[in-house]
Amino acid sequence: MMGIGKPVIFTASEALARIPENACLRLGIGPEEEQMLAGYITWLAENREMGLEIGRRAAAHVKECHPPDKVAREYWDVLSKA
């Protein structure tokens, strides 16, 4: 979804730490997670322009860090070793 410019909401994790903070919305882990998710969804609905901007930054990140030729090469490398 990030690659096509959609704002995404993730549960915060070490694996997602590489994604720029301004390119997604992060949920804290714990009992408030469900309430935070509802709050982010409401916020995105009420702040469409901000959601679009987060999506633009997400798409730019994916384009810069995960270009199709690089991803295809990595898939090929994995499949070649199988």
Q: How many separate helices (H) and strands (E) can be counted in the chain? A: 3, 2
Residue 74: predicted pLDDT: 93
Residue 72: predicted pLDDT: 94
Is 50 strand, coil or helix? helix
Mean pLDDT (whole number) for 29-57: 97
Place of tokens 């997604």: 24
Average pLDDT of the chain is 95
Mean pLDDT (whole number) for 40-66: 97
Helix axes 48-65, 33-46, angle to 10 degrees: 110
pTM for the whole structure? 0.82
